[in-house]
Structure 1
Amino acid sequence: MILPTQDDIARAAKAIAAQTIRTPVLSLTSDRWRGILPDAASVTVKLELFQQAGSFKARGALLGIRALDDGQRRVGVVAASGGNHALAVSWAAQAAGVSARIAMPETVDPLRIEGCRAMGAEVTLCADMPAAFAEMDRVVSQEGRAILHPFDGDHMMLGAAVCGAEYAEQAPHIDTLIVPVGGGGLIGGMGAAFKLANPGCTVIGVEPVGADSMTRSLAAGHPVALDRITTIADSLSAPRAMPQSFAVAQAVIDRMVHVTDDQMRAGMGHYMDVLRILAEPACAASLAAICGPLRDDLAGRHVGIIACGSNISLPRHAAIMAD
């Protein structure tokens, strides 16, 4: 396990700067947040939903495409994803003229499926996320495509680290970083970057109650797989932890907390009511955590959260909120 260095992050940031967006940060000081946010010294959010392809995944996908050799570019890539990584890989592959195959659960938002197809990717719909990962493995064995894994790999960790370094530079006062966890790539990279900038920074991961492979893996001391996933947050529905992302996450995470589907719905509602942001459940997970299980633990802390992506249609958002 090798954590990214400041030089690694700087090189990656320079390599993709022309094709990615330096997303804004917002201090949540409006009076409209009164009674919603915890009694922290400050709360800041990084708006990664404004990134290319609609989420933080764009940086890692682009780095993964750039790392392909000529033979891999000719054959193409494959990825398994609940949506945000699928869109990011489709975008990065199209920009590079590389063929992309995407395996997705059949229950994902049609907006995501059509978004991938519109960018030229070939989409295969599967029963669930474990089946999508199995399809990805089948395509690799039969077609020889290169895997662009959604969270396990140098490209995804470095992409997240670039995001983290950017955030730490934009908001150097943050001493408590709270990040949604699916497979662990985002928190591993962001956490590593923040601890390089401020070794005393506390890094807290947030997982849905029904998709907590990282919490279970950290408790076991090794990566584990889930038998069943039950959450509205399809972007946080990794069926298993993987060795590299687990090792990096293990090195940087100070604490894990759970959020319920209803707590994420509440966060989605707050983003819509206060900021007029159409947030998917994963996008609202950090906000849900500070307003829920972490509410009484943040006094005096300078809190940083991330709105990691928002690839959700109006009908799907309405259906989730109605439930």
Structure 2
Amino acid sequence: MQNELTLKDIYLAQQRIAGLAERTPLLRSESLSRRWDCNVWLKLDNLQPTGAFKLRGAVNALLGLDKAQRERGVVTMSTGNFGRALAYAGQHLGIAVTVCISKLVPDNKVAALRESGAQVVIVGDTQDDADIEARRLQQEEGLAYISPFDDPLVIAGQGTCGLEIIQQQPQIDTVFAGLSGGGLIAGVGLAVKSINPHAEVIGVSMNQGAAMLESLAAGQPVQVQEVASLADSLGGGIGLDNAWTFAMTQRYMDRGYRVDEQQIARAMLHLFNHERLVVEGAAAVGIAAIEQHQIDLRGKQVALVISGQNLSNNSFAQACHLAGEPNYADL
């Protein structure tokens, strides 16, 4: 890693993004606290203006561009949420945004990208294919490339989520968050462990296509096959030339878990039934991991990052059927 991020970078990001990205609530879950005999807090980043935590890093990255880069515009690859966040921030800052996505991105996220003002390029069957196209546009059209995770400004922006958790409940000792490219875990881990080195930071991925977990097991970034999942926003690789998040995840994540589709569905339906939250699969993987792996949390202060709510009707219906509650699919 060429330069090391510090807690100061996250504090600076917190100041920079105020006004475009929200300071989201951290609310206690009575149902989960009773279920696991601990205190469970839900970090509601699904309440960001674009419906996901990604807005934090997107705003910080765009505000870090120089004037010439802003005038040329930016390009990224995305599974949907980061592209939407970048487009939203770009509209507010007067910066043109192009988003490259694969055919696996759900239709509702494609529509949201276009509604947010992004130029959308759909190419290939994987996030790696979309990344190749984004890099081509960077070279041929002179656009500034912004990684959705492997970028220091993006990581610092996502780290503000962890900083807020500690500011809102300083006694938190365990944090669960979705694990994909590693931008969220890297930033949250840096923030939380810089303030409380004894806190545990736990990442969760879906069973298949868990790129960061596969890479950590191999000791280096590796490619994985992408498959459709309720946790679609956790799909994609981490990049074979990963410069930031692989090393930071190694350093700041204590444990990583995989969860199956049925458990993700059950977690989504728990949040709907007990918390009245309609969230995408990636936002529910913390609950899924605790249930599937029977993680003992008795007496702990636990924060779950509820990362986003950008799911389609079809995804919610699929979750209902997998969780054994098909009647909800008609709501």
TM-fit CA distance, 1:105: 2.2
Question: In the alignment, which residue of structure 2 is the partner of 1:113?
Answer: 110
Alignment partners' CA distance in 1, 2:226 and 2:101: 17
TM-fit CA distance, 1:34: 7.6
Alignment partners' CA distance in 1, 2:318 and 2:289: 22
SS in structure 2 of the partner of residue 167 of structure 1: helix
1:70-219 alignment runs, 5 A limit:
70-128=67-125, 129-219=127-217
1:13-50 alpha-carbon deviations (Å, 9 max, x no partner) = 111112221100111124xx487x433x2111100000
Alignment partners' CA distance in 2, 1:185 and 1:99: 23
Question: In the alignment, which residue of structure 2 is the partner of 1:311?
Answer: 310
Contact 1:280–1:310 (8 Å) recurs in 2: yes
TM-fit CA distance, 1:158: 0.3
Contact 1:205–1:253 (8 Å) recurs in 2: yes
Gapped regions of structure 2 (runs ≥ 5)? 323-331
Contact 1:38–1:291 (8 Å) recurs in 2: no
Alignment partners' CA distance in 1, 2:13 and 2:22: 14
TM-fit CA distance, 1:230: 4.6
SS in structure 1 of the partner of residue 50 of structure 2: helix
Alignment partners' CA distance in 2, 1:57 and 1:71: 24
SS in structure 1 of the partner of residue 285 of structure 2: helix
> Which 10-residue stretch deviates more, 296-305 or 201-210?
296-305
Contact 1:207–1:258 (8 Å) recurs in 2: yes
Amino acid across the alignment from 2:215: S
SS in structure 2 of the partner of residue 52 of structure 1: coil
Question: In the alignment, which residue of structure 1 is the partner of 2:222?
Answer: 224
SS in structure 2 of the partner of residue 44 of structure 1: strand
Alignment partners' CA distance in 2, 1:143 and 1:251: 36
Contact 2:259–2:285 (8 Å) recurs in 1: yes
Amino acid across the alignment from 1:297: D
Question: In the alignment, which residue of structure 2 is the partner of 1:68?
Answer: 65
Alignment partners' CA distance in 1, 2:310 and 2:226: 24
Alignment partners' CA distance in 2, 1:130 and 1:320: 27
Alignment partners' CA distance in 2, 1:124 and 1:321: 31
1:214-236 alpha-carbon deviations (Å, 9 max, x no partner) = 11221222212113435332100
2:23 is aligned with 1:28: no
Amino acid across the alignment from 1:26: L
Amino acid across the alignment from 1:90: A
TM-score by length of 2: 0.91
Tell me which stretches of 4 or more aligned residues in structure 1 moved more than 6 Å. Answer: none
TM-fit CA distance, 1:126: 2.3
TM-score by length of 1: 0.93
Alpha-carbon distance change, 210 to 111 in structure 1, aligned in 2, over 3 angstroms: same
Contact 2:20–2:89 (8 Å) recurs in 1: no
SS in structure 1 of the partner of residue 288 of structure 2: helix
SS in structure 2 of the partner of residue 68 of structure 1: coil
Calculate percent identity across the aligned residue pairs. Answer: 35
Q: CA RMSD in A?
A: 1.7
Alignment partners' CA distance in 2, 1:185 and 1:268: 23
1:75-104 alpha-carbon deviations (Å, 9 max, x no partner) = 111111111101101101111111111112
1:285-304 alpha-carbon deviations (Å, 9 max, x no partner) = 111112221x2432232211
1:202-250 alpha-carbon deviations (Å, 9 max, x no partner) = 1111111112111122122221211343533210002235231111111
TM-fit CA distance, 1:188: 0.5
Alignment partners' CA distance in 1, 2:179 and 2:263: 15
